């Protein structure tokens, strides 16, 4: 995956729009060691596989389903492609792409793979679109996401309505203002999509109008001018999730340092329990503030740890902290050596080798290849009487207060009796 420009690119466009001050704040930090995480390495690997497959489709128009088995064992980036990779990432990504093409009329051809685009009216601003497909009526701009954690969508909802993912807007703006493989892609309907095969929503997409693109260019220009000016404004929000400047941002450090903001309240007496009520109590307000504080601290800790590590590796001194060798989990030297040695020690074969059921994703992929359907009754969710917390906008069903209160009372009774 290619990097974006120093001022703004697809991956940080949303952050710069929301917080122009983040640009100078990040520049002021000491340079961090470029040590990619395992998740980033896995994403780079999966992007390399998809780029190879889309290249085959582009140049030779090959049947990718026939090509997939040939790639098993081939090294992409830093690892060999396995059947599990195909089942859980690559095949679902191809399926989502096929669905996207079908929704928009089919008859698509590859226009560009890993295509670098220049953002209009901002010198030095560029980014890389993973895939661009074209048909006589539509152009599809696709961004692959292979993470299994935080979901990424083409469109988000905020207090003012629907907002298109700024990263996609950045790419489409750049692609439509330039030529893709010698031809203009304007004059057709522009569709931007996120394909995240291991996400809760593997495919999300939206159509973007030329008017929306013009507005985005203007907003991006204003954000860059503000970012390069004196005392650029800063704001706190979801855009801070991967921002290293949290470690110096007063909007983050202030509330964390001033723990008195919690204004602690006493919980209800255990004997009395909690009675259902539509009113928010002072203790409920306290718990809401405490939850926000602790969630903020969790995000803040990650950035502080990374900055501390980078500063020490660069030769800086941090009182009370130093570097040490990273401990890695031990692993077997190799299958055959371990098998022979353990067998010589008296181990039976079933005491050395273990079998387990395939994952849902792997089983689904096999069923698709066989043309069969796995019966629904084989996969069940265990019944539960437990609850967990969720934000008020979570789409999950709501547990009635009476039921929750009974669970709480039962827990208190167990505590009281020492069980």
Range with the lowest mean pLDDT among 72-76, 126-130, 273-277, 391-395? Answer: 273-277
Looking at residues 265-273, what average pLDDT do you find? 55
Contact 205, 191 (CB under 8 A): yes
Question: By C-alpha distance, which of 187, 186, 204, 184 is closest to 195?
Answer: 204
Place of tokens 């953002």: 119
pLDDT digits (tens, 9 = 90+) for 36-84: 678 889 999 999 999 999 999 998 878 899 999 999 999 999 899 999 9
Query: Which has the higher per-residue pLDDT, 412 or 181?
Result: 181
Using CA atoms, how far residue 24 sits from 157, 224, 238, 318, in Å, is: 28, 11, 19, 23
Q: Where are the domains of the chain?
A: 13-228, 249-313, 335-378
Question: By C-alpha distance, which of 150, 160, 158, 167 is closest to 206?
Answer: 167
CATH fold, domain 13-228, is Lambda Exonuclease; Chain A (3.90.320)
d(CA 385, CA 419): 18
Range list of H helices, 61-148: 64-67, 83-85, 91-103
Range with the lowest mean pLDDT among 12-21, 273-282, 319-328, 331-340? Answer: 273-282
pLDDT digits (tens, 9 = 90+) for 309-357: 878 888 888 888 888 887 777 888 888 999 999 999 999 988 898 888 8
User: pTM for the whole thing?
Assistant: 0.72
Residue 302, helix vs strand vs coil? helix
DSSP string, 169-202: HHHHHHHHTSEETTEE-TTSEEEEEEE-TTSSSS
């Amino acid at each position: 995956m290619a990097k974006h420009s120093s001022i703004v690119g697809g991956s940080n466009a949303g952050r710069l729009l929301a917080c122009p001050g983040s640009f100078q704040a990040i520049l002021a930090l000491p340079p961090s060691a470029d040590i990619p995480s395992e998740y980033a390495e896995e994403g780079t690997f999966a992007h390399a596989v998809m780029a190879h497959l889309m290249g085959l489709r582009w140049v030779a128009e090959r049947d990718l389903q026939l090509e997939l088995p040939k790639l098993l064992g081939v090294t992409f980036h830093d690892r060999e492609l396995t059947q599990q990779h195909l089942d859980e990432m690559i095949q679902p990504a191809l399926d989502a792409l096929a669905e996207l093409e079908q929704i928009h009329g089919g008859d698509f051809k590859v226009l560009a793979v890993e295509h670098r685009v220049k953002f209009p009216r901002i010198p030095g601003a560029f980014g890389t679109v993973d895939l661009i497909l074209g048909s006589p009526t539509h152009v599809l701009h696709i961004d692959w996401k292979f993470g299994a954690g935080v979901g990424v969508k083409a469109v988000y909802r905020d207090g003012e309505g629907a907002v298109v993912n700024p990263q996609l807007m950045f790419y489409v703006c750049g692609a439509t203002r330039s030529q893709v493989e010698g031809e203009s892609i304007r004059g057709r309907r522009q569709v931007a999509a996120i394909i995240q095969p291991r996400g809760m929503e593997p495919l999300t997409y939206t159509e973007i109008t030329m008017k929306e693109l013009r507005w985005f260019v203007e907003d991006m220009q204003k954000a860059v001018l503000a970012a390069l000016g004196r005392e650029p404004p800063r704001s706190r929000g979801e855009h801070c999730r991967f921002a290293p400047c949290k470690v110096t941002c007063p909007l983050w450090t202030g509330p964390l340092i001033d723990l008195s903001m919690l204004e602690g309240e006493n919980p209800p007496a255990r004997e009395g329990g909690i009675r259902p009520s539509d009113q928010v109590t002072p203790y409920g307000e306290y718990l809401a503030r405490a939850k926000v504080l602790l969630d903020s601290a969790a995000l803040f800790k990650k950035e502080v740890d990374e900055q501390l590590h980078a500063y020490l590796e660069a030769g800086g001194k941090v009182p009370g902290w130093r570097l040490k060798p990273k401990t890695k989990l031990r692993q077997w030297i190799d299958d055959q050596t371990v098998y022979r040695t353990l067998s010589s020690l008296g181990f039976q074969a079933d005491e050395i080798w273990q079998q387990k059921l395939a994952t849902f994703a792997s089983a689904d992929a096999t069923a698709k290849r066989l043309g069969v359907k796995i019966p629904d009754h084989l996969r069940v969710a265990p019944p539960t009487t437990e609850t967990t917390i969720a934000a008020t906008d979570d789409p999950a069903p709501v547990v009635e207060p009476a039921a929750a209160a009974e669970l709480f009372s039962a827990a208190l009774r167990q505590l009281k009796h020492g069980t």
